């Protein structure tokens, strides 16, 4: 029996930005932990596949005025009947805080509500400091429910935000980190 943790990273991406973020997050987890990290486009799988993992990272972007990205929109009804009890889930979202300041990251908030309603434990809350928006369904207790990325307006902060968030996830998921050998 293997002690290797398995993490499923599922994303929906219309322009490729959420796919890019999912791959970056997975690469950092693989580089820093012993976890097996599998990445899937949610539009290419059966929704039941999410239940194969106890630890999940889900990526979604907000479209138009607070709408779910199309791949997640197509799966939302199915998500509402799955049992996520015992699943630990981290969310990341993409949005445009200047173009849509009153619905920034709304899709991430909608996904969080659905998952919690179905028994999931959410981790990975992220501070709102450093963002400029007026409203978001993804803000609870003064923090985003997951990592908020803005490839349109704050692209230069993406790498640092992902790195810091992955460090947070490693601790929250209780992942074993790679041992670093010292050479003398």
Task: Please name each of the domains of the chain with its CATH number.
Answer: 6-173 (3.40.50.360)
Contact indicator for 162, 31 with CB cutoff of 8 Å = no
- 28: Cβ–Cβ under 8 A, 6 or more apart, which residues? 162, 163, 166
- Give the model's pLDDT for residue 3: 73
At 180, is the pLDDT very low, low, confident or very high (cuts 50, 70, 90)?
A: low
> Could you tell me the pTM of the whole model?
0.94
- As a whole number of angstroms, the distance between CA 96 and CA 59 comes to 15
Average pLDDT of the residues in 131-156: 97
Could you report the per-residue pLDDT of 67-114, keeping only the tens digit for each?
999 999 989 899 999 999 999 999 999 999 999 999 999 999 999 999
Q: Is the model's pLDDT at 1 over the cut of 50?
A: no
Question: Which pLDDT score, from 0 to 100, does residue 6 have?
Answer: 96
């Amino acid at each position: 029996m293997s002690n290797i943790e398995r993490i499923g990273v599922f994303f929906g991406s219309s322009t490729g930005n959420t796919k890019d973020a999912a791959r970056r997050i997975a690469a950092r987890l693989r580089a820093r932990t012993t976890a097996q990290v599998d990445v899937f486009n949610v539009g290419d799988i059966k929704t039941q596949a999410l239940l194969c993992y106890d630890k999940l990272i889900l990526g979604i972007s907000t479209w138009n005025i607070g709408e779910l990205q199309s791949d997640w929109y197509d799966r939302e009804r199915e998500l509402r009947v799955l049992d996520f009890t015992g699943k630990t889930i981290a969310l990341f979202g993409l949005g445009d805080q200047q173009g849509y300041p009153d619905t920034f990251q709304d899709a991430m908030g909608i996904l969080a509500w659905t998952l919690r309603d179905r028994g999931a434990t959410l981790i990975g809350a992220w501070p709102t400091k450093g963002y400029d928006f007026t409203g978001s369904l993804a803000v609870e207790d003064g923090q985003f429910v997951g990592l908020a990325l803005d490839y349109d307006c704050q692209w230069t902060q993406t790498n640092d935000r992902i790195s810091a968030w992955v460090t947070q996830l490693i601790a929250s998921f209780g992942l074993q980190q790679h041992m670093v050998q010292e050479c003398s």
